[in-house]
Amino acid sequence: MADLEVLIAAIQDGDRATATRVTAEAIRDEMDPQSILDAMTAAMAEVGRRFQCNEVYVPEMLISARAMKEATALLEPVLIKADIRPEWTAVIGTINGDLHDIGKNLVAMMWRGANIKVVDLGTNVPAERFVEAARDHQASLIGISALLTTTMTGMRDAVAAIRAADLPGMRIMVGGAPVTPEFAAEIGADAYAPDAASAVDVAKGAVAAG
Amino acid sequence: MSQRQDQKVQDRRLEGSGRLRARVIGVVSPNWVHTAMGVKFNERYFMDPEYRQVENRQVADWIGTFNTMLQTRFARYDVDWEPVGISGIAGMYDPDGLEKLTVGLPQPFPVVTAMFGGEIVYFDNDNPDSKGEPLAGISSASEVHIPDFATTFPVSVYLQQYEDLVARFGKDKVDLSFLYLHSPLTIAYRLRGEQLFFDMVDDPELATAILEAAHATSLGVYEMYERIGDRPERLLPIATCIASLISPDVYRKWEIPWLRRQIERHPKALVHSCGPSSHILDLLAELPGIDFMEVGAGTDIARTRVLFPKATINYVVDTPKFRNHTPVQVDAEICQVIRDNEGGPLTIIWPAETGTPIETIEAIYAAVSDYNQHGSEA
């Protein structure tokens, strides 16, 4: 029987060979797909915790996420067959005029690791693209990132455009180095996350509250 | 990052006290200038030196008025300070009072990335940046080629501009330079993107080749500019901007060896890191000849002082926090830095973004003045 503790350790260490091997074994052994998925999300949650504590940094986090992604790819057909789907969909992007994407990528990675479907619009995203993508993918949450004080003001326009669009119940979350909880509240965002690790709980809380 | 690092801190030693006067340098953002004056930091500004000179005259007038206001308002404070400049913009001031015609982009980021095929993106209210990762698609070390500096855009254009301007105005009127050097790992990341971190695990030979290319190109262009400009040997400023994202293990293996090679080529060096940098201090302390440590907010200043007992610490106040914090919070932060610095050479650098209240700027001058008059016990 495949050992899910080994899978967890492999994802945390970014050991994709072991992660995919154990996942394949678990599928072959007909283990409960939800328990395999839970092991993977637990592993990424621990990676997020370590990131928050400065025990790991961006390269280690990316390598863990890659291991998780490759293992998840093996598991996906089994999940579909068992009708286990992502909890909900989030759209994410860096605000118009801003080309920085490290923070946004880390949040997207953590969301995927928490079994949230992520539609990543990339950088320099105008407000209307957030609206279109949220509508097309029936998203529950839009995440907007900014690194620059010069571009974060564009978040206000984006939030206003999303509110003006016909997207009932849509939650909006903002983050990035210059963004503060006060600014998030001032522009009418529903949630603010100070870092990638906390972005999972904040997003889940926002969607649950909506 | 300041270019005025060669201060003679020894001269400022307070007689009999054994401690040094702290000093203050301020920089405003291009956004501030754009908002105040409408000057656009667009492609024409950076690619047309004569246009830039016209714009810079306006900016210099405005900055002069701003500095006069600061000087008047802060006259009562016992602080050594210099005129405020614009972060990342070259050629605004000249020590000899000459009006210089600057050539090219002052930051290696977009220049080196463009030399490998990346795109330079211009903004009205910010420094230019690079878009895309030109080496993202390669799959082996043999595909990494160091470009010929003199014939590759945009350096080829800058060199032609430099020759034309020197022929018309004379060499002493024209400046061709990088303000500083981005570190090899910082540039390599911009060339390759996140794939670089996977290469470090899967294909170290490829990662090494990209690091080598980043190192050779950025340092090569920097030193070529120095040679062409007949500059006297000066401080080498290296910006290891990626440091706050990188673990000590990765930093030790993939940044330190190249930093060492760059620093060893120059008699004096300044190492700049944008964000919290406590986790790399021990590694940097192993390098020879770092005379200036320029670290971001959140860095352990007490530890920095222990590891770099003779270096000047440039403490860069966090821009968004500086904009949003109250004067009381800023005063507390600066006082803590002064205490942790233990009386060594110290410069506080305030980077002001549009909307930063003058009272929070003043809090820095007040705290440093208090220290200069009464010491860290004040």
- The CA distance from A102 to B191, in Å, is 14
For position B320, what pLDDT does the model report?
83
Task: Give B98→chain A minimum CA distance, Å.
Answer: 32
A94 with A20, same domain: the answer is no
Q: Which of A47, A81, A115 is the last residue of a domain?
A: A81
A77 with A96, same domain: the answer is no
Number of structural domains in chain A:
2
User: What CATH number does the domain located at B100-225 have?
Assistant: 3.20.20.210
A39 with A61, same domain: the answer is yes
Reported as a single tens digit per residue, the pLDDT across B205-247 is: 999 999 999 999 999 999 999 899 887 667 899 999 999 999 9
A76 with A97, same domain: the answer is no
When CB atoms are compared, the residue of B123, B247, B354 closest to A57 is B247
> For residues A113, A117, A121 and A126, what is the CA-based torsion angle, rounded to 10 degrees?
-120
A11 with A102, same domain: the answer is no
Closest CA in chain B for residue A97: B123
Quick check: B250 and A99 CB within 8 A?
Answer: no
For position B233, what pLDDT does the model report?
65
When CB atoms are compared, the residue of A57, A62, A97 closest to B123 is A97
Quick check: A59 and B320 CB within 8 A?
Answer: no
To probe the interface with B, which of A18, A57, A179 has the most B CB atoms within 10 Å?
A57
Query: Tokens at residue B53, please?
Result: 């000179």
For position B6, what pLDDT does the model report?
42
A109 with A198, same domain: the answer is yes
Our CA angle for A175, B27, B361, nearest 5°, is: 80
For position B131, what pLDDT does the model report?
86
Reported as a single tens digit per residue, the pLDDT across B162-174 is: 999 999 988 888 8
Reported as a single tens digit per residue, the pLDDT across B247-288 is: 999 999 999 999 999 999 988 999 999 889 999 999 999 999
Task: Give B201→chain A minimum CA distance, Å.
Answer: 9
Quick check: B245 and A57 CB within 8 A?
Answer: yes
When CB atoms are compared, the residue of B121, B198, B355 closest to A63 is B198
For residue A145, what are the domain limits?
89-209
Q: Which of A81, A116, A143 is the last residue of a domain?
A: A81
**Contact A60/B at CB under 8 A:** yes
Residues in chain B with pLDDT < 50? 1-13, 15, 95
Closest CA in chain B for residue A181: B324
Other Cβ atoms closer than 10 A to A30: 9
Give the residue carrying structure tokens 């190492």. Answer: B271
A60 with A103, same domain: the answer is no
Q: Residue A151, by phi and psi: left (phi above 0), alpha (psi -120 to 50) or beta?
A: alpha
- The CA distance from B210 to B254, in Å, is 11
For position B4, what pLDDT does the model report?
41
pTM across the whole model: 0.90
**Contact B29/A at CB under 8 A:** yes
- The CA distance from B237 to B218, in Å, is 12
When CB atoms are compared, the residue of A59, A66, A177 closest to B247 is A59
Per DSSP, what are the bridge partners of residue B271? B238, B293
- Picking from B244, B197, B221, B71, the residue whose alpha carbon sits closest to that of residue B149 is B221
Closest CA in chain B for residue A176: B320
A151 with A53, same domain: the answer is no
For position B90, what pLDDT does the model report?
64
For position B97, what pLDDT does the model report?
53
- Picking from B283, B215, B273, B277, the residue whose alpha carbon sits closest to that of residue B249 is B283
For position A210, what pLDDT does the model report?
77
| ipTM of this complex | 0.88
Q: Which of A53, A81, A109 is the last residue of a domain?
A: A81
Task: Give A9→chain B minimum CA distance, Å.
Answer: 17
**Secondary structure (H, E, C), chain B:** CCCCCCCCHHHHECCCCCCECCEEEEEECHHHHHHHHCCCCCHHHHHCHHHHHHHHHHHHHHHHHHHHHHHHHCCCCCCEECCCEECCCCCCCCCCCCCCEEECCCCHHHHHHHHCCCEEECCCCCCCEEECCCCCCCCCHHHCCCCCHHHCCCHHHHHHHHHHHHHHHCHHHEEECCCCEECHHHHHHHHHCCHHHHHHHHCHHHHHHHHHHHHHHHHHHHHHHHHHCCCCCCCEEEECCCHHHCCHHHHHHHCHHHHHHHHHCCCCEEEECCCCCHHHHHHHHCCCCEEEEEEECCCCHHHHHHHCCCCEEEEECCHHHHHHCCHHHHHHHHHHHHHHHCCCCEEEEEEECCCCCHHHHHHHHHHHHHHHHHCCCC
Domain harbouring A202, CATH code: 3.40.50.280
For position A143, what pLDDT does the model report?
97
For residue A145, report the phi and psi dihedrals to the nearest 5 degrees: -115, 150
Other Cβ atoms closer than 10 A to B25: 22
Q: Strands, E, within A70-170: which ranges?
A: 89-94, 117-120, 141-145
Quick check: A149 and B320 CB within 8 A?
Answer: yes
Quick check: A180 and B320 CB within 8 A?
Answer: yes
Residues in B closer than 8 angstroms to A155, CB to CB, are none
**Contact A178/B at CB under 8 A:** yes
Contacts of B142 (CB under 8 A, 6+ apart): none
- The CA distance from B121 to A89, in Å, is 32
A139 with A38, same domain: the answer is no
Residues in chain A with pLDDT < 50? none
Helix (H, G, I), strand (E, B) or coil at A178: coil
Domain harbouring A68, CATH code: 1.10.1240.10
A194 with A93, same domain: the answer is yes
When CB atoms are compared, the residue of A99, A102, A150 closest to B125 is A150
Task: Give A167→chain B minimum CA distance, Å.
Answer: 32
